[in-house]
A and B are shown apart, each in its own frame.
Chain A
Amino acid sequence: KAGVTQTPRYLIKTRGQQVTLSCSPISGHRSVSWYQQTPGQGLQFLFEYFSETQRNKGNFPGRFSGRQFSNSRSEMNVSTLELGDSALYLCASRQSGGKIYEQYFGPGTRLTVT
């Protein structure tokens, strides 16, 4: 079974631009969660999607948004990028009904904002 894939793996953007990151979960997994990893803050939960609906949300500003498609693929969008948005963005998928920590992470997208 293929793992969680994220595209692109690396991205450089300029302050003020917007960016869209993509995540394809493991086949059969309907839940996708997004996390931001920075050296100063560690791993922080952004949001979780299940069956195209946002099920849970972390404490991030409205510039961070996401969506999930009928095939469970998910996208995350960050508008009006700030320097502090530079981070590794990770997505994780899990089976419906699985324990929330039985999630499988992708390799992440490294976003650099200049």
Chain B
Amino acid sequence: DQQVKQNSPSLSVQEGRISILNCDYTNSMFDYFLWYKKYPAEGPTFLISISSIKDKNEDGRFTVFLNKSAKHLSLHIVPSQPGDSAVYFCAAGDDKIIFGKGTRLHILP
């Protein structure tokens, strides 16, 4: 039973436009939600987090939105840049982290 779901395996976005990556979860007890970014041949790197008591967190070009009633979070990247091409993992947890399967983002020139 997948507790964290990323339903889009891949996404292509034009450079300069907004990239929106989506994630759904099932466990309303999660304390925090995260996004990680992964390049090939490297481990994931932490990108941004949001606590369950907030609905938005912004860090530069990256903003995470949390909709608790819908059990949904999204990552917005504005503007999208070529270096943003990577696999993005959504994750959630309390004492341990549960990851989604990832979404591969392609930024098109």
Contact = CB atoms under 8 A, between A and B. Distances in A.
Interface of A: 4, 35, 40-45, 48, 56, 58, 90, 92, 99-108
Given A43-B102, A100-B96, A105 B45 contact: yes
Interface stretch (B57-65, B68-76, B77-85, B87-95): B87-95
Interface string B37-67: 0000111111001000000000000000000
A101 B96 contact: no
Contacts of B6: 42
22 contacts: A40-B101, A42-B99, A42-B100, A43-B99, A43-B102, A45-B97, A45-B99, A90-B43, A92-B43, A100-B93, A100-B95, A100-B96, A100-B97, A101-B97, A102-B46, A103-B46, A104-B45, A105-B43, A105-B44, A105-B45, A106-B43, A108-B43
